[in-house]
Amino acid sequence: MIFLILVLGIIGAVLGAVFLPGLGWVPGFAIGLLLGWCKVLSARVGVLEQKVAKLKAGPEHETKAPGPEAEPESEPEVEVEPELELGPELVFGQETEPADQPEAVVASGSLAQKHEQRPGTAPAHVRENAFDPVIEKARQLLTRGNPVVRVGLIVLFFGVAFLLKYAAERDLLAIELRLAAVAFAGLAMLALGWRLRSRDLTYSLLIQGGGVGILYLTIFASSRIYGLVPLGLAFALMIAMVGLSVLLALLQNSVAMAAFGAIGGFLAPVLISPGTGSHVVLFSYYALLNAGILGIAWFKSWRVLNWIGFMFTFVIGMTWGYRFYRPEFFHTTEPFLILFFLFYLAISIMFAHRQPVHLKGYIDGTLVFGLPAVVFGLQGALVYEYEYAMAISALAMGGIYITLASVLWRKRAVGMKALTESFLSLGVVFTSIAIPLGLDSNWVTALWCLEGAGLVWIGVRQHRILARLAGLLLQIGAGIAFITGWGAVASGLKMPVLNSVYMSAFLLSLSGFVSNYCYQHYSSRLRGFELWIHLPLLGWALLWWLAGGFREINFYFNNTELVFACVVFIAASGWVFGWLNQRLQWEDTGYPAMAAVPMVLIITLATNAGYSLHPFEGWGVAAWGITLFLGCHLLYRLDQKWPEKLLGVLHLLMLIFVVFILTREAGWVVDLLVKGTRAWPFAVSGFIPALFISLLLRFGSRVPWPTGRFRSIYTGEGLLPMGIFLLGWVISACFRPADPAPLAYIPLINPVEFTQVFVLLTLMHWWNSADTRRFAEAVQLSSRAVTWVMLAAAFLWINSVIARSVHFWAFVEFSGTALFASVYFQSALSIVWTLISLVLMAAATSRGKRMPWIVGAALLGIVVAKLFLVDLSEIGTVARIISFIVVGSLMLVIGYLSPLPPKSAEDGI
C-alpha cells in the first residue's frame, strides 16, 4: 500500500513539473499522495464491510477466536476482483485467451464463488464515487505484474524520444553515431528480453516492448528526419519491425507486447517529426502498422490492439486533415482512407470469428458501427467539392456492407448472425443516405419506401419486430415526403408512365403491396397487435396505385378520353388483382378485384349522364370492349373461388353496366338519325332495358355461363333494380308530352306510348316468371300488392294517353291546369273511367272477387261526383249532356251485369 501511495505521488510530481512552472512538482506530489491514501482507505473500508457482512449473515460464517498465541492482525490485503472482459487483460505479463488457459477460468470461477453474496448481505465492494473505476484501472496497471519495470519503461521511452530531439537540435554527436547507438540499444533490449522469457516472462515482455518502440523511433528518424536511410529501405525495415512485433506477440501469446509495439509505432512520427513533411509517407507508414494489426487479428481476437490501431490511425489522420489538408491532396489521401476502412472492416469480421467458443459471434459494436461513421465523416470532408461524390460514397459503402451481409448469410458461419444483421442494417442505412444525396425528391421517397418494404420482408423472415416497424415508418415517411412535393413536379413530366412522378407513386404502391403480402402470408410470425396491419397496408398501397394512375391519366388525356382511360385502368387493375388473388393465394387482393366492377359502373354512370355524350366516340368502342372483356374474364376466373352471393352481385353490376352503355349509345344514335324531339332517345332509354329483360327471360337459361350459372340474377330477382327503373320510367313518361315529331301523334302508335306498353308487358312477364315467384315467396313479398302497383301504373298510362290526345288533337296545353280546365279532357276521363269501372266490376262479379268490385264502384262514384261538382258552365251544354247520357247508360249496364259479390267471397283478385 505504501508503494501505491509513493507511485501516485511520483506521477503527480511529474505531471506538476510538466504543466506548472517552477516548483509545480510540489503540489503535484502532494495531490498524488492524497489520491493514493484515499484509495488505500477506500480499500480498507471495503474489506471491513465484507467482514461486517459475514458477521451479520450468521454463525456459519463465524471464524474461530484467535488464541493467546495468535499473531496481531496485519494490514488487510486488497484482493483483486476478477475482471469480466471480453478478451485478455492488458497487463505486462503472460496473457492468454480463455480457451488457452482452462486453469485461469477455473481460478476465476472459484474466486467468483468466494465473493458470492448471500441474500440480505451487504455488497462485497462499495465504490465511493464515479472516479473509482478509473483509479482501480490505474492501480491495477501500476501494481499488477512488475510496476517498477513498467513505470521505468515508460520513463525510458519518453527519455529516448526527448534525447533524440535534444541531440538533433544541438548537434552534439554525429547523427550516424547517435542513431546507431539508439538502434543498438533497441536490439540489445530485444535480445535481453527474449533470453529472459523463460525466467520472468513479464519482465522479458516489458524489455521486448521497449526495444520494439526504440527501433521504431530510430528507423523513422533515420529516414524521415535525417534522410540517412532511403524511404524504400525504411519502409522495408518498418515492415520487418511490424512482422517482428507480430511474431513476438503470437509466440508469447501477449496482447501487451502487440499493444506496446503498436503504440510505439504510432507515436514515433508524432514525437519526432518537426510538423512538416509528406503525408503520403506518414499514411504509408500507418498502413504498414495497420497491416501488422490485421495480421495479428487473423490469429487472435485482441480487442485492445484493434482499438489502439483504430484510434491512433483516425485521430492522427483527422488532426493532420484539420491542419494541413488541401483539395489538391485528394488523390494522394483518398486511397489511404479507403485502405484504412477496408483494414478495420476486415478486422471487425476477424474479431467476431476468432472469439472463444462460448463467445462465438460476439462483435465489437463500437468498432463495427464507429468505423463507418468516422470514415464517412472524413470522406465528406475530402469530397465536399465534387457533385454526387457523397452519394456515390454512401452507395459504395452500402453495397459493401450488404454484400458482406449476404456472403455471411450464405456461409451460415456459426455465431455470425449478430455481425450479419449489423452489416445488413449498415448497408440499408448507407443506401438510404445515398438516395437523397444523389437523386431528386421523387426518387428519394420512392426508393426509401422500397427499402422500407425490404426491411418489412427481412423483419418477417427473421422474426425481427424492430425491422418491421422501421420498414413501415420508412414507407410512411416516404409517402409524406412525396406528398409535400406533389404539386411542384408537373413540369418535370416528360414521358407517359416513364417519369419520376408516376414511377415514384408506383413504387410507393408496390412497396405497400409487398408489405401487405408479407404481413398476410407470414401472419404466424407476427405479434398479436400486428395481425390487423395488413389491411391498412392494403389501403395505403391502393391509395398510391389509384392516385398515381389517375394523375397520369389526367395529365395526358382530354375530357372525352379521360373517362375511357379511367375505366380501362380500373378494369385492368381489377383483372391484375384477381390474377394475383388466384395465382398467389393472396386473399387481400381479392378486395380491390371485387371493387373494380362497381367502380367502373360508378364512373360510367357519373360521366355519361346526358344524351349528347357518345360512349363509343373515338376509341370508346375499344375502351368499353376491353373493360367488358376484362370484367367478364375476372368473374369467370374467380367463379369457384369467391362466395356465390358476392359473385351474383358483381354479375348484376356488370349487367347494369352493359345495359347502360348500350342504352346511351342507342339513344345517341336514334337522336342523331331522327333529328326530332327528345321523345325518341327518351323512348330508347326504356326500350333497351326492357328488350334486355325480354331476351334474358327468353334465352337466358339456354346459355351455360353466365346466365345459366347465375339464373336467379339474370332471369329472377337480379332484374329487380332494372324492373324498378322501368316502372319509374313508365310513370315519368306519363307526365311528358312525348311529341313524336317528325311523325304525327297517333295514340299508342308513337315511340313513348308504344314503349310504355312494351315495358309494362315485360314487367308483368318478368313478375310472373318462375324464378321471380320463388324469390317473392322466399322474401314473403305480397304478389297482390305488386299486381296492384302494376295496375296503378297502367291506369296512369291510360290517363296520359287521354291527356296527350287532348293535347295534340284539341290543342290544349300539356299542363295540369290547362288539361283539368278542358271539357274534352274531363269528358274523356269520365267516359274512360266508367268503362274501366265496368270492366273491374264485371270481372269481380264473374270471379266472385269483392275487392275489385269495390274499387270499380269507387271509381264510378268519383266519375259521378266529378260530373256534378266540376263547373262546366263555360264549356257549353252539349259536352255536359253527352257526358251524362254516356255515363248514365254505362251505369245501367254495370248495375245489370255486375251486382256486388256476396260478403263471404274471397277478398282478393
pLDDT, tens digit (0-9, with 9 covering 90-100), for 775-796: 887 777 777 788 888 889 999 9
pLDDT at position 892 is 59
pLDDT at position 893 is 67
Q: How distant is the alpha carbon of residue 352 from its chain centre?
A: 31
Q: State the maximum Cα–Cα separation within the chain, in Å, rounded to a whole number.
A: 160
Within 8 A by CB and 6+ apart from 632, the residues are: 654, 706
Q: Which of 696, 708, 705 is nearest to 632 (CA)?
A: 705
**What single-letter DSSP state applies at residue 225?**
I
Cell numbers describing residue 3: 508503494
Q: Which residue has the higher pLDDT, 442 or 826?
A: 826
pLDDT grade, residue 135 (50/70/90)? low
Whether pLDDT at 123 is above 50: no
pLDDT grade, residue 61 (50/70/90)? very low
Highest mean pLDDT among 1-5, 245-249, 397-401, 833-837: 397-401
Q: Are 31 and 12 a contacting pair, CB within 8 Å?
A: yes
What mean pLDDT comes out for the span 307-319?
Answer: 87
For residues 291 and 262, give the distance between their C-alpha atoms in angstroms, rounded to a whole number.
11
A 10 A CB-CB count for 645 gives: 8
pLDDT at position 5 is 64
pLDDT grade, residue 903 (50/70/90)? low
Give exposure, 341-365, as e/b (b: 16+ Cβ within 10 Å). bebbbebbbbbbbbbeeebeebbbe
Whether pLDDT at 68 is above 50: no
pLDDT grade, residue 64 (50/70/90)? very low
Distances (CA, A) of 571 to 260, 583, 589, 635: 75, 18, 14, 12
Q: CA torsion sign, 776 to 780 to 781 to 783? A: positive
Highest mean pLDDT among 116-120, 283-287, 333-337: 333-337
Q: What is the pLDDT of residues 871-901, one digit of tens each?
A: 444 444 555 556 666 665 666 566 656 666 6
What mean pLDDT comes out for the span 503-523?
Answer: 90
CA dihedral 421, 425, 430, 431 (to 10 degrees): 90
Q: Are 689 and 726 a contacting pair, CB within 8 Å?
A: yes
Among 169-178, 338-347, 561-570, 738-747, the least confident range: 169-178
pLDDT grade, residue 615 (50/70/90)? confident
Instruction: Calculate ∠ Cα 51-56-60, nearest 5°.
Output: 85
Q: Which residue has the higher pLDDT, 581 or 206?
A: 581
Its pTM stands at 0.55
Q: In this prediction, what percent of the chain has a pLDDT beyond 70?
A: 70
